[in-house]
Amino acid sequence: MLNFLENLYQHTRNTLVWFIIYFALQTIIWVALGVLILLHPQTLFILVAVFFVLIAALNLYFGLLFIRYAIKLKKIKSHLDSK
């Protein structure tokens, strides 16, 4: 049981680190978008397409991550109910 809690802690910590990276990258993307629109308005279409692809990939990753956590929580509940 202790090993399971250690693994859960590590996964939760890693998820929080990825959230920090996600928001930092999102900030950089917004700043880059603003600067490039000011300098070259025609690059807006390319940046928007890349931005949406990155957001879609991140949403898929976090969705799969949360599904994995939901399954782990279900296992915890069934383990606690069996005792």
Query: Would you kindly state where each structural domain of the chain is located, as residue ranges?
Result: 2-82
Long-range contacts of 67-70 (CB under 8 A, 24+ apart): 69/11, 69/15
Q: How confident is the model at residue 33 (pLDDT cuts 50, 70, 90)?
A: confident
Does the structure show a pLDDT above 90 at 64?
yes
Stretch 41-69: mean pLDDT, rounded? 89
| Class of residue 51 by CB neighbours under 10 A (exposed 0-12, middle 13-18, buried 19+) | middle
Considering the chain, what is the average pLDDT of its residues? 87
Stretch 57-75: mean pLDDT, rounded? 91
Say what the pLDDT of residue 77 is: 81
Token pair 């859960």 in the structure block, residue: 8
